[in-house]
Amino acid sequence: MSTLTAPTEAASAAAGRPSYRVTGRGVLASEWAKLWSLRSSWITLGLSLLLLLAFGLIAATRYRSEIGAGRMNPDFARQTAVGLSLFGTNVAQLTLGVLGVLVTAGEYSTGMIRSTLVAVPRRLPVLWSKVAVIGLVSLAAATAGVSVAFLFGSHLVSGTPGAMGFSHPGVVRSLLGAGLYLSLVSVIGAAVGALLRSVAGGISVLVVTLMLIPGLATLLPSSWRDGISPYLPSNAGESMFALTHDATTLAPGTGLLVFIGWTALALAGAAYRLMRSDA
């Protein structure tokens, strides 16, 4: 009797258990909900937009006020509406990179990653979904931020040598390149966060990689510096949205390929650790 009852009870329990199937769309929806449920996401995105707008408008206002005074720095005097509007990218890259770190490393710090991996046992779809969500959100926010900054900045410098409009050759490419660069920075942040599993560690690596290493590269002998500096992540990324180029910088397409290579390297490291290490 007990032999017959056990399979029957197991079948009944299985029939009463809700069945579900893990799909890519479901994982994406889950990561989308997680991103917007965190207050830090709203704060970081808002801060990124504020920095893009504030730095761009401050630079354009300073240019307008000093252009006829004769006391402007020669390098600053050669700026255009595009360059002035993109002054905030160097700071916004850190905030969006931090957002990427929080998306992945934040789950490890709270322990929520264990529940996530129980729900999605294959693991890699979790990483790809996080990367896709943060990349698309950052792309939309950054592109909107630099476009609005240019819209107001070009109005402020109208009638000056730096005046430009959207129809000027290279302007749209520069603005889209800046949005794409900031988006890929957030993806790198997510990859570094997943690789190190530490918010503090991920942010530190971002600061060193994007800001300290390019500065240290200037101390190298010129023969080394000219061969290494253009291929550093931040310098290759800057060439994606620079309006003009010279012999010491990469072309926009080459800079994009180099920066995608750095992004792919970070994602490969994150994927390897996710598959090989326990949560």
Quote the CA–CA distance of 196 and 101 in Å, as a whole number.
Answer: 10
Whether residue 48 contacts residue 137, with contact meaning beta carbons closer than 8 Å, is answered with: no
Q: Half-sphere exposure of 207 toward its Cβ, with a 13 Å CA cutoff?
A: 7
| pLDDT tens-digit profile, the chain (279 residues) | 444 444 444 444 444 444 557 787 888 888 999 999 989 899 999 999 999 999 999 998 888 888 766 666 776 778 888 999 999 999 999 999 999 999 999 988 888 888 888 888 788 999 999 999 999 999 999 999 999 999 999 988 888 888 888 889 889 999 999 999 999 999 999 999 999 999 999 999 999 999 899 888 888 888 788 888 999 999 999 999 988 887 788 999 999 999 999 999 999 999 999 998 876
Quote the CA–CA distance of 33 and 247 in Å, as a whole number.
Answer: 46
Whether residue 96 contacts residue 138, with contact meaning beta carbons closer than 8 Å, is answered with: yes
- Please give the model's pTM, rounded to 2 decimal places: 0.88
Question: Hey, what are 78's tokens?
Answer: 């050669």
In this predicted structure, what is the pLDDT of residue 19? 54
